[in-house]
Amino acid sequence: MERTGSEHVKIGQMRMAEQVAAALRDRILAGGIVDGSTLPKQEELVAEFGVSHPSVREALRILETEGFITVLRGNRGGATVHAPDIGTAGYALGLTLQAMQVGVPDLGAALATLEPLCAAHCAQRSERDRKRVLVPRLRELLAESEGCIDDGAAFTRASRAFHDTVVGFDPNVTLRVVVKSLTSLWSVQEEAWADAQVSRGSYPSRADRAVAQRAHQRLVESIEQGDADETARIAGEHLTATQRWVCRTLKDRVIDAASARSRMRFRRG
């Protein structure tokens, strides 16, 4: 069956659009077009790539569908760039796990395996790095959680910030991106759980919160001393203990990654 002339034109436009989209995508990923900046106007892209306006519009549609840009229509419109980051990775991972109907305890088990490894890597950083950068930041977060220990929901949020920070200091970039995506996803589940427990008056007691706070303090001390094995042990025991509270309530719950709460968390990621 022969293609008509109009079909050849459409196929040609699609191929050109894909090439333009690929070129712009590569620039974004390489940092040549920075996050938050605006792409050149369509007329400029037409002139630069030597293609038609329909090809450029289709290229922008491709990039918008992929999440690389947001296009605002109208006289003041334009295409704002969104470079992929940990939040992007975490959101995509979370949606995948939710589509696979993965349960909250399964996510917790993965973190209980990987997060202690990240904590141990923090303890293995240079003494100068640990004492000048990492430990001071963790002590700031300890002070914040101590200050809100009487407010269950606020204490959970502060505690989750502590965990996110520990993972965020892992020197291995690949592990940091993967595990921080998981900690952010777990934080969504735990923070929702905390809000529900507070409203029901069944949030863990102040004594239980104090136990979690002391575990964080011991973790910081072991990181400061550079004791990787002890750091991993403390982190593993602490995660097992605290996850028990959440999983007891959410044992049959599928991971939530698509709610407004999730999107907001990953947008900050």
Q: What is the mean pLDDT of residues 83-88?
A: 86
Stated length of the chain = 269
C-alpha separations of 222 from 54, 81, 231, 235 in Å? 60, 41, 5, 10
What integer is the mean pLDDT of 163-173?
A: 96
Percent of the chain with pLDDT over 90: 80
pLDDT tens for 56-84 read: 999 999 999 888 998 887 666 689 998 88
The answer to whether 128 and 188 are in contact (CB under 8 A) is no
Region 230-239: mean pLDDT is 98
User: Which domains are seen in the chain, by residue range?
Assistant: 5-81 (1.10.10.10), 86-268 (1.20.120.530)
For residues 108-112, give the mean pLDDT.
97
Q: What is the pLDDT of residues 176-192, one digit of tens each?
A: 999 999 999 999 999 99
Q: Measure Cα distances from 255 to 150, 186, 198, 232, 240 in Å.
A: 28, 8, 21, 26, 18
Chain segment 182-227, per-residue pLDDT in tens: 999 999 999 999 999 999 999 999 999 999 999 999 999 999 999 9
Q: Give dist(CA 267, CA 257) in Å, integer.
A: 12
- CA distances (Å), origin 96, targets 8, 99, 185, 190: 37, 5, 12, 19
3-state secondary structure of 121: helix
